[in-house]
Structure 1
Amino acid sequence: MTTLKVENLHVSVAGKEILKGLDLIVNTGEIHAIMGPNGTGKSTLSQTIMGHPAYQVTQGNIYIDGQNLAEMSVDARAGLFLAMQYPSEIQGVTNTEFMRAAINARRPEDDQISVMSFIEKLDEKREFLAMTEEMAERYLNEGFSGGEKKRNEILQMMMIQPQIAILDEIDSGLDIDALKVVSRGVNSMRSNEFGALMITHYQRLLDYIVPDFVHVMMDGKIVKTGDANLAKKLEAEGYAGLRDELGLDVHLTDEETNSYFVED
Structure 2
Amino acid sequence: MNTSTSLLEVRDLRVAVGEHTVLQSVSLQVAAGAVVVLMGANGSGKSSLGLALAGHPRYRVTGGSARLAGEDLLAMGVEQRARAGLFLSFQAPPDIPGVKNNLFVRTAVNAVREARGEAPLDAFDFLGAARQTAARVGLPDAMLNRPVNDGFSGGERKRNELLQLALLRPRLAILDEIDSGMDVDGVRAVLDLVASLRAQGTGFLVISHYQQMIESLAPDAVLRLEQGRIAESGDLALARAIARTGYARTAEAAVA
The two structures share one fold, judged by TM-score above 0.5: yes
Tell me whether 1:242 sits opposite 2:250 in the alignment. yes
Q: Is the Cα contact below 8 Å between 2:6 and 2:29 reproduced in 1? A: no
Q: Is the Cα contact below 8 Å between 2:91 and 2:177 reproduced in 1? A: yes
Tell me whether 1:43 sits opposite 2:43 in the alignment. no
Q: Which residue of 2 aligns with 1:228?
A: 236
2:94 equivalent among 59, 72, 88: 88
Q: Is the Cα contact below 8 Å between 1:154 and 1:186 reproduced in 2? A: no
Q: Which residue of 1 aligns with 2:227?
A: 219
Q: Using the alignment, how far apart are the partners of 1:178 and 1:3 within structure 2?
A: 28
1:187 equivalent among 184, 187, 195: 195
Shift of 1:237: 1.6
Q: Which residue of 2 aligns with 1:261?
A: none
Deviates more, 1:104-113 or 1:42-51: 104-113
Q: Is the Cα contact below 8 Å between 1:35 and 1:199 reproduced in 2? A: yes
Q: Using the alignment, how far apart are the partners of 1:191 and 1:233 within structure 2?
A: 28
Matched residue of 1:107: which SS? helix
Deviates more, 1:75-84 or 1:196-205: 196-205
Tell me whether 1:55 sits opposite 2:59 in the alignment. yes
Q: Is the Cα contact below 8 Å between 1:150 and 1:182 reproduced in 2? A: no
Q: Is the Cα contact below 8 Å between 1:6 and 1:25 reproduced in 2? A: yes
Cα RMSD for the two superposed structures: 1.7
Runs of 4+ in 1 over 3 A off after TM superposition: none
Q: Using the alignment, how far apart are the partners of 2:110 and 2:43 within structure 1?
A: 37
Q: Which residue of 1 aligns with 2:74?
A: 70
Q: Using the alignment, how far apart are the partners of 1:130 and 1:39 within structure 2?
A: 31
Q: Using the alignment, how far apart are the partners of 2:201 and 2:152 within structure 1?
A: 31
Q: Which residue of 2 aligns with 1:209?
A: 217
- Aligned-pair identity in percent equals 38
Q: Using the alignment, how far apart are the partners of 2:229 and 2:139 within structure 1?
A: 38
Aligned length: 248
Tell me whether 1:117 sits opposite 2:125 in the alignment. yes
Q: Using the alignment, how far apart are the partners of 1:162 and 1:110 within structure 2?
A: 14
Q: Flag structure 1 segments of 5+ consecutive residues without an equivalent.
A: 249-264
TM-score, normalised via structure 1 length: 0.88
1:130 equivalent among 130, 138, 141: 138
In the alignment, residue 105 of structure 1 is paired with which amino acid?
A
More RCO (CA 8 Å, sep 6+): 1
Shift of 1:214: 0.7
TM-score, normalised via structure 2 length: 0.91
Deviation track 1:11-34 (CA, whole Å, cap 9, x = no partner) reads 111211111111011122101110
Matched residue of 1:174: which SS? coil
Q: Using the alignment, how far apart are the partners of 1:155 and 1:133 within structure 2?
A: 11
Shift of 1:110: 7.4
Tell me whether 1:13 sits opposite 2:17 in the alignment. yes
Q: Using the alignment, how far apart are the partners of 2:181 and 2:106 within structure 1?
A: 28
Q: Is the Cα contact below 8 Å between 2:13 and 2:65 reproduced in 1? A: yes
Residues 121, 2 of structure 1: alpha-carbon distance in 2 compared, 3 angstrom cutoff: farther
Q: Using the alignment, how far apart are the partners of 2:143 and 2:87 within structure 1?
A: 21
Tell me whether 1:148 sits opposite 2:156 in the alignment. yes
Deviation track 1:58-107 (CA, whole Å, cap 9, x = no partner) reads 11011112222221110011200011001110012111111110111023
Q: Is the Cα contact below 8 Å between 2:241 and 2:250 reproduced in 1? A: no
Q: Is the Cα contact below 8 Å between 2:35 and 2:221 reproduced in 1? A: yes
1:97 equivalent among 96, 103, 111: 103
Matched residue of 2:42: which SS? coil
